A and B are shown apart, each in its own frame.
Chain A
Amino acid sequence: MLLSYKQQKLIIIVGFLIIPLALLVTFSFYPAVKLLYLSFTSWDGLSPTAPFVGLHNYRIIFTNSTMWTVFLHNFSYFIGGIVQNLIALFFAVILNSAIRARNLWRVLIFLPYVLNSVAISYMFKFVFQDTGAFNLILQHVGLSGLAHSWLGNTQIVNWTLAFVSLWKFMGFNMVIYLAALQSIDNELYEAATLDGATSFQQFRFITLPNVMAIVQINMLLTVSGALEVFDIPFVMTNASPDTATFVTQTVNTAFTFNNYGLASAMGVVLLIIVIIVIGIQRKLLGGGEDVI
């Protein structure tokens, strides 16, 4: 049977797409729709039926203040994320210029991103224990006055955890900034140097505007990451009341308190919050091209 070129093209496209689409629908779309459905029920995880309760779960979320105080903990990760972006941009600019062994530095900085998140959290848990590696090193170099209870002190613990997140993701941000920097035409810099611009002026007037769209993307990732952080507090401090985040609370609600309906509603609310925050951020950081 001779198929026309158009038909062959269609068959090949469909043939390649059908498996990924099937997986996407099964493991992404269907659960998302089911989540939305469950958020309007009070399913307890075991009953064959899920009783419909309308907006009851959403009402609980918006009238219960304890749900929102945990966002204070997420805030630490947000600040950590901003610092992380600044440091990443700094390293990207430095490692974009011609310095010795710059590939080695790039690899070393990126390596934490490749490591498994749970393994990192577990490792840092032992590093930051009261008698752990970090305090020991401080003692050895004579800075024992700086030794704190990194995980026990209520004021410090969230910043400790934010640092672990920074350590992991800074390399990833840096790599993205590097790619953006390399797309800037070198002639612009040469022209600027000829005209007598200092390196800071070059950074401010050439680098930054061209990189702004990428900064936006990274900030989007940072903000949504900060709102959704789960593994670091869960592994390092078992999501204790000092360090609980919105997602650890959601998981608790579902699996400890058998309230899958409320937990699903919390998931939907988190999505709405992320959309709102990203919207605000886009307005503030200016339009830029629609890179997404």
Chain B
Amino acid sequence: MAKWRSILRVSATAGIGFALIAGCGNAANNATNNAGGGAAKTTSPGINPAQVQGSITFITHRTDLVANGTFQKWANQFKKLYPKVTSVKFQSITNYADDVKIRLNSGAYGDALMIPPGVTMQQMPDFFEPLDNLGLDDKTYFGRYDAYQGKTYGLASGVDGNGLVYNKAVFKKAGLSGPPKTLNEFYKDCAKFKKMGITPIALNYEAKWPLGVWDQLAPAIAKNANYFNTLKNNSAPFTPGSPIAQNLKIAYTIVKNGWAEPDFKVTDWEGSKSDFAKGKDAMMLLGNWAISQFESKGIASKNVGFVPFPYDNTGKHMAIIGPDYFYGVAKNSGNKPTAEAWVKFMIEKSNYANSQGFIPTLKSQKATLPQIAEFEKTASKLLQSVPGDSTVTQIENTAQIDIGGGGYVQSLLNAPNFNQYMAKLNQEWNSAKQQVSP
């Protein structure tokens, strides 16, 4: 879904100052190279090394990695693989999603770049080159996610899991043996933390995008990865008791009982990260990408845990994994073979995914972030998110209900009555649905 990705967009750009585990990263990189069973110079189908030459421009949202030279290190690795390449130039943009969309209009958007959210599948062929000849479609997670009419236009740069990040030390202090396994246990833990004077769960209302997670568990609750796309036929999706309403009810309950930060409307993201690292917050509902950001604020890795959120009382919960930004090759690039080789290199050989705390896109690579093992073990099933239906996106835009964006959740948390607000959302959804597909 486009909105899922927009969270990750802003999350990644908001995370300045990642702790780069360059050393470990390289070791893991070499290990997977050898495990892959191929020498570094294996020719891939469709990439002719003789054509990989010259220079390309790569546009990325990771201003921090360009500034601290990490991308240059990967560029040097790339040049060793393909000696005819003269240079890889990097452009990093802070307000990536919005600014790059404008550049797409202008026709000058580099050779390789991250695909911004908001580009519909029908628009993909207008702006990006098909990437099927890289041979990665079936070897990667979400290989067919950015596909249109049988061709893939984007390959994920990393995979995120959505789940509860918790402070193990704080849990121990409260005398709890582990993270909550049912929804009732979660509520009980919240009450306990509040009595101890610790913020049970930080919401980050002010930044808006962190609230976007509070409807993303709906596919797991509905046991249907395609849940959001079915909403195009649903004229009252927010009826209390429906999967998305159940999900939102949890956030509403947290605020009603005062289990969020005391000044939850005002705390900013950076301050909130520090609060979590210092032990003032017990939990946050985010993704594995946030873990390295917390560690860079001073919390030890062994004190950070990551489990799927217990959205009901069955004791077994699915976890949703979704793609982070996609790599794309510009349709009007002057050096397509090199740009494609760069994308392939970033996915297969660079340690981008692991060093940033993602699950690697390549299925054969193992995630090195220790918390991911805990996450995968606790989840009853990993549900892969599916591409968003453009009709649903249109209804969302017309009703201005940004599922996954967090804006309408802000209004929900202000509302005095949950059921009344759900009825209002139903009304807006229905009238937008009539407008979009009468």
User: Once the chains are docked, how many angstroms separate the CA of A241 from the CA of B120?
Assistant: 28
28 interchain pairs (CB within 8 A)? Answer: A44-B397, A46-B105, A46-B118, A47-B123, A129-B263, A129-B266, A130-B263, A130-B266, A149-B263, A149-B265, A149-B266, A152-B263, A237-B265, A237-B266, A238-B206, A240-B205, A240-B208, A240-B410, A241-B411, A242-B414, A256-B405, A257-B397, A257-B398, A257-B400, A257-B402, A258-B118, A258-B397, A259-B398
B residues in contact with A47, CB < 8 Å: 123
For residue B126, which residues in chain A have a CB less than 8 angstroms away from its CB?
48
CB 8 Å contact bits of B190-233 with A (1 = contact, 0 = none): 00000000000000011110000000000000000000000000
Chain B residue numbers with a CB within 8 Å of A62 are: none
Q: How many interface residues does chain A have, given as a range?
A: 20 to 34
Chain A residue with Cβ nearest B209: A238
Interface contact A46-B123, CB-CB below 8 Å: yes
| B265 and A151 form a contact (CB under 8 A) | yes
Q: Residue on B with the closest CB to A131?
A: B263
Of B208, B268, B397, B414, the residue contacting A259 (CB under 8 A) is B397
Are A151 and B402 in contact, with the CB atoms below 8 A? no
Interface residues of A in 216-261 (CB under 8 A from B): 237-238, 240-242, 252-253, 255-259
In the complex, which range does the number of interface residues on chain B fall in?
20 to 34
Flag B370-386 by CB within 8 Å of A: 1 or 0 each. 00000000000000000
- Any chain A CB within 8 A of the CB of B119? yes
CB-defined contacts of B265 to chain A, threshold 8 Å? 149, 151-152, 237, 240, 242
A154 proximity list for chain B (CB < 8 A): 414
Q: Is B101 an interface residue (CB 8 A)?
A: yes
Indicate if the CB atoms of B266 and A241 lie closer than 8 Å. no
Return chain B residues, CB-CB under 8 Å to A279. none
B398 and A241 contacting across the interface, CB-CB below 8 Å: no
Number of A-B contacts (CB under 8 A): 62
Minimum CB–CB distance from A27 to chain B (whole Å) comes to: 16
- A255 close to B400 (CB less than 8 A): no
Instruction: Give CA–CA (A48, B123) in the complex, Å.
Output: 10
CA of A152 to CA of B265, assembled, Å:
5
Of chain B, the residue at the smallest CB distance from A151 is B266
**Contact flags (1/0) for A32-60 with B, using CB distance below 8 Å?**
00000000000011111000000000000
B47 interface residue, CB < 8 Å from A? no
Dominant secondary structure at the A interface: loop
A280 to chain B, nearest CB (A): 30
Most chain B CB neighbours (cut-off 10 Å) among A47, A252, A256: A256
A57 to B265, CA, bound (A): 32
Most buried by B among A48, A125, A238, A253: A238
**Residues 234 to 292 of chain B near chain A (Cβ within 8 Å):** 262-266, 268
Q: How far is the CA of A169 from the CA of B142 in the complex (A)?
A: 52
Task: Give bound CA distance, A103 to B126, whole Å.
Answer: 61
Q: Report how far A253 CA is from B398 CA in the complex, Å.
A: 9
Taking CB atoms, residues of chain B closer than 8 Å to A48 are 126
- A130 near B262 (CB under 8 angstroms)? yes
CA distance A48 to B120 in the complex (A): 13
- Report the minimum CB–CB distance from A112 to chain B (whole Å): 23
Decide if B123 touches A45 in the complex (CB within 8 Å). Answer: no
Q: A2 CA to B165 CA in the complex, in Å?
A: 83
How far is B120's CA from A257's CA once the two chains are assembled, in angstroms? 13
Interface residues of B in 69-84 (CB under 8 A from A): none
Q: Which of B118-143 contact A (CB under 8 A)?
A: 118-120, 123, 126
Q: How far is the CA of A253 from the CA of B206 in the complex (A)?
A: 19
User: How far, in whole Å, are A258 and B264 apart by their CA atoms in the complex?
Assistant: 29
Give A128 Cβ to nearest chain B Cβ, in Å: 8
Name which residue of chain B comes closest to A255, CB basis.
B98
Is B49 at the interface (CB under 8 A from chain A)? no
From residue A8, how far is it (CB to closest CB) to chain B in Å? Answer: 42
- Are A240 and B397 touching (Cβ within 8 A)? no
What's the Cα separation between A257 and B268 when bound, in Å? 24
Shortest CB distance B248–A (Å):
15
Q: Report the bound CA distance from A152 to B101 in whole Å.
A: 33
Q: How far is the CB of A238 from chain B (nearest CB, A)?
A: 6
Q: Which residues of A lie under 8 Å from residue B411 when comparing CB positions?
A: 241
Write out the residue numbers on chain B whose beta carbons fall within 8 Å of the beta carbon of A255: 98
Could you say which of B118, B208, B264 contacts A45, with CB atoms under 8 Å apart?
B118
A45 touches B400 (CB 8 A): no
Verify A252–B263 contact, CB threshold 8 A.
no
Which residues on A sit within 8 Å (CB–CB) of B14? none
B20 contacts the other chain (Cβ, under 8 Å)?
no
Q: Complex formed: what's the CA distance from A238 to B204 in Å?
A: 12
Known contacts: A130-B262, A240-B265, A241-B414. The answer to whether A45 contacts B101 by CB under 8 A is: yes
